[in-house]
Amino acid sequence: MDTRVMIVRGCPEEKTISTRRARELAVCSFGLLAQVSCALPYIHGSGYPFFSLYLHDLPQHSRLQRHLTIMTVHFGNNRLGFYIVTLLLSGTVLGIAGNFASLFLPSLHRDFTIFALIVPSLTILLFLLSLQWAQPRTEAIELFIIGTFWLAMGAWSTDIIGFVQCDTLGGQRIPSKNDGTTSAQSYCYQMKVVQAFSWALFALFVIAFWILMRLVHQAQRYGRYHIWEEPIRELPWFGEAPGYYNTAGGYPYPYPPQSPGMGPMPQPYGYPMPMQIPGQSIVIQPGVNGAPPTITQIPHSAPPV
């Protein structure tokens, strides 16, 4: 049976869409908080900023849920993994820089050693703060600034030790503080580690910045227009709809039971969705500026409003 969709505000005539298109539109209206833009390509005469949808024979929510991947903790887990790797690499560089400080400061290799102490220390401090509190906008600024620092660290260390073959320095010594000496080969190996980890961290920051931009853009397309100012843990992963995990609206409401022997299903978006009553239709009126939609049921015989 085909599913009819009528535009009752903003369009003077009824439009009939295939069942597949109607289900996509229904998923768009329910699952994405009535994001109107994804429905417009299927409706002739669009261009109206506000309208209502009159849905006949809307599929049950259990069927709609198959077409939509709700938000999970994938982003939070992946972000935590990125933070752990960054903290480990930064801690290694900080330890090597501390060794350089004990060998050379204050007279030898002063500029690079101080910079090598500041960059990983700043990275660890900001990341520990961001684990407790962060927004997409603060995360983007943090990734850009710290990533630039690691780019400078990688370029500087490459300029110092880039083309030196450490295995040819066996038995050689270089000056250290207090008129002492230290192994040139050991210093070379440590500089190589700093160089490699600096470039690796810069690459990780570039990838993380790109992923963050993509996820923010995806959330905005799904109706979260103020996602830049919301807690970063509310960002969905790729292919997921926003607003399920730890949303600002509190714990999600349950679905009504689908059958006498079936328990309530979790409501993925924090807003109660009514069960369609036989002989009635569901009217969805999208909210303004990302607000939740108004959902009511009317008899089939009643004219749409």
Q: Residue 287 — very low, low, confident or very high, per pLDDT cuts 50/70/90?
A: low
Element spanning 291, H or E: none
pLDDT tens digits along 176-203: 888 888 999 999 999 999 999 999 999 9
Q: Residue 88 — very low, low, confident or very high, per pLDDT cuts 50/70/90?
A: very high
Phi, psi of 32 (to 5 degrees): -110, 25
Distance CA 40, CA 157 (A): 54
If you average pLDDT over residues 205-216, what whole number do you get?
95
The pLDDT score that the predictor gives to residue 131 is 86
Helices 110-132, 74-104: inter-axial angle, 10-degree rounding: 150
Residue 53 has pLDDT above 60, yes or no: no
The pLDDT score that the predictor gives to residue 69 is 54
Q: Under a CB-based contact definition with an 8 Å cutoff, are residues 138 and 126 in contact? A: no
Q: Under a CB-based contact definition with an 8 Å cutoff, are residues 212 and 136 in contact? A: yes
What is the percent of the chain with per-residue pLDDT over 90, rounded to a whole number? 35
Distance CA 109, CA 10 (A): 71
Residue 155 has pLDDT above 60, yes or no: yes
- Nearest Cα to Cα of residue 145 among 181, 117, 118: 118
Q: Residue 288 — very low, low, confident or very high, per pLDDT cuts 50/70/90?
A: low
Region of poorest pLDDT, from 158-167, 262-271, 278-287: 262-271
Summary mean pLDDT of the chain: 72
Helices 184-221, 136-161: inter-axial angle, 10-degree rounding: 150
Residue 25 has pLDDT above 60, yes or no: no
All structural domains of the chain with their residue ranges? 4-70+244-299, 74-221
